[in-house]
Amino acid sequence: MKALIKNEPGPGLALIEVPEPTIGASDVKIRVLRTGICGTDLHIEKWDDWAASTLRPPIIPGHEFSGEVVEVGSLVHDVAVGDLVSGEGHVVCGMCRNCRAGRAHMCIRTKGVGVNRDGAFAEYVVIPGKNVWVHQPGTDPDVAAIFDPFGNAVHTALKFGVVGEDVLVTGCGPIGLMAIAVARHVGARFVVATDISQPRLEMALRMGADAAVDVSRERVADVQRSLGMKEGFDVGFEMSGSPAALGEMIENMNHGGRIAMLGLPSEPFPIDWSKVVTHMLTLSGIYGREMFETWNSMSAMLQSSPQLSERLASIISDRYPASRWREAFDVAATGGVGKVIIDWTEI
């Protein structure tokens, strides 16, 4: 099969022929239809310090995907040949305290598809049957391919109750945009988004934000006043990893406010802990998806809301055949677009 592989340490990837993967009794083999390019994939292609310390080439990256089941192991249930599926990218041990308590997303021995084991930038991928998510009939393969990042957004947006609450979202990358759409769908009162990219701020408004703030030119506090908010935000989604964004979020939270943090900072930074304490704020880190309640919530919301489905699909900004993977990666690396999809039916 053709696969986009990191053959050795160093920058770059190569689209080459490799052996097709084989399955065990508990595995599922999937013919890949679409893949999304994630920030993790960009780190791997660039071979930065994180990639160099984490990966052991040769390895096939890619963890955002949709595909068609072509083979099912003898011990796998509820997955059939021909199903349209995606995959939970965290392969867990099943035996640590968190796994046994039903908190598999907190497994201490998690292995990442496309990071610690071969991933989906290929014509075929094999994952454990327990990691397979079967989609509702009629699901668009493009949308199915971005269920992984959509799950990050849903996990963040549903961490704290947002019904009737005022929500501040800092960072309008694809996952931030998805979180805006979810907050609007669930029933937030005001949703305010911040970024410094005008195209992404415009997308935030299309996702349902009441206001989109260019923080290089205006302050969140001013927008609060224009919306008639008498107190601070009740819930924050920090999606950017920016020290300045978190600082402004903390500054604009109501007493007792709750912040879900998905954005990964590039280095440690100070925050105003006195305000966290005196305003009794809650800060919670978010990683991946709850397995598999988040997946169930994603499917249920999309099945019940055509508008949310349309908003999610509109985040996909670019599509490339696998043969043009270099262009796809270059576009994704610009950071000013939505999700970039690679089509593995065109190689």
Relative to beta strand 339-343, strand 316-321 is: parallel
The 10s digit of each residue's pLDDT in 269-289 is: 999 999 999 999 999 999 999
Residue 247 burial (CB count, 10 A):
16
Chain-centroid distance of CA 68 in Å reads: 21
Residue 310 lies in a domain: no
List pLDDT tens digits, range 242-259: 999 999 999 999 999 999
Q: Residue 298: inside a domain, yes or no?
A: no
Is 292 inside any structural domain? no
Is pLDDT at 97 greater than 90 in this prediction?
yes
- Here the tokens at position 283 are 């800060």
The pLDDT of residue 78 is 96
**Is residue 84 domain-shared with residue 118, that is, in the same domain?**
yes
pLDDT confidence bin for 301, thresholds 50/70/90: very high
Active site residue 155: no
Is 330 in a helix, a strand, or coil? Answer: helix
The domain tally of the chain equals: 2
Domain that includes residue 201, residue range: 152-285
- 172-211 burial, b for 16+ CB within 10 Å, e for fewer? bbbbbbbbbbbbbbbebebbbbbbbbeebbebbeebbbbb
Given 243, 266, 285, the domain boundary residue is 285
Q: Is residue 280 part of a domain?
A: yes
Q: CATH number of the domain that 17 lies in?
A: 3.90.180.10
Tell me, what amino acid is at 84? L
Compute the distance between CA of residue 161 and CA of residue 187 in angstroms, rounded to an integer.
10
Classify 54 in phi/psi space as left (phi over 0), alpha (psi -120 to 50) or beta. alpha
Pair 96, 47 in one domain: yes
Predicted local distance difference test score (pLDDT) of residue 336: 72
Mean pLDDT across 52-59:
96
Instruction: Give CA separation, 53 vs 98, 116, 167, 309, in Å.
Output: 26, 12, 36, 38
Report pLDDT for 168: 98
161 and 176 fall within a common domain: yes
Same domain, 242 and 333: no
Q: How far apart are CA 61 and CA 68, in angstroms?
A: 19
- The token pair that represents 24 in the structure block: 């065990």
pLDDT band with cut points at 50, 70 and 90 for residue 51: very high
Q: Are residues 162 and 267 in the same domain?
A: yes
Q: Which two tokens stand for residue 294?
A: 């988040």
Assess whether pLDDT exceeds 90 at residue 335: no
Residue 190 has pLDDT above 80, yes or no: yes
40 an active-site residue? yes
Whether 104 and 185 map to the same domain: the answer is: no
Residues 124 and 255 in one domain: no
Query: Quick one: 20 and 53 in the same domain?
Result: yes
Beta-strand (E) ranges in 78-123?
Answer: 84-87, 90-91, 111-112
Average pLDDT over the chain, rounded to an integer: 96
**Residues for the chain: how many in total?**
347
- Residue 6 β-bridge partners: 59
CATH number at residue 179: 3.40.50.720
- Given the residues 35, 43, 105, 156, the one annotated as active site: 43
Q: Which of 22, 35, 40, 139 is catalytic?
A: 40
Question: Does residue 140 sit in the same domain as residue 6?
Answer: yes
Sign for the CA dihedral angle at 296, 22, 119, 145 comes to negative
Percent of the chain with pLDDT over 90: 97
User: Which runs of E-coded beta strand occur in 211-304?
Assistant: 211-214, 233-238, 253-261, 282-285
Q: 48 and 70 share a domain?
A: yes
Give the residues across from 236 on adjacent strands: 168, 259
| Paired residues of 262 in beta bridges | none
Q: Write phi, then psi, for 285 (nearest 5 degrees).
A: -75, 145
Residue 212 within a domain: yes
Task: Count helices and strands (H / E) in the chain.
Answer: 13, 17
For residue 127, what pLDDT is reported?
Answer: 98
Give domain status of residue 302, yes or no. Answer: no
Question: What distance in Å separates the CA atoms of residue 260 and residue 156, rounded to the nearest whole number?
Answer: 6
In 3D space, the residue among 262, 240, 210 whose CA is nearest the CA of residue 335 turns out to be 240
Cross-strand partners of 32: 67
Q: Residue 97 — φ and ψ, nearest 5°?
A: -60, -45
Where on the phi/psi map is residue 119: left (φ > 0), alpha (ψ -120 to 50), or beta?
beta
Whether residues 226 and 258 fall in one domain: yes
Domain boundary among 285, 304, 335: 285
Asked if 173 and 126 sit in the same domain, the reply is no
12-43 residue pLDDT tens: 999 999 999 999 999 999 999 999 999 999 99
Condensed to tens digits (0 to 9), the pLDDT of residues 212-251 reads 999 999 999 999 999 999 999 999 999 999 999 999 999 9
The reported pTM is 0.95
- 93 in Cβ contact with 109 (< 8 Å): yes
Q: Tell me, what's the pLDDT at 337?
A: 74
Does 24 map to a domain? Answer: yes
Contact 70, 81 (CB under 8 A): yes
Residue 297 in any domain: the answer is no
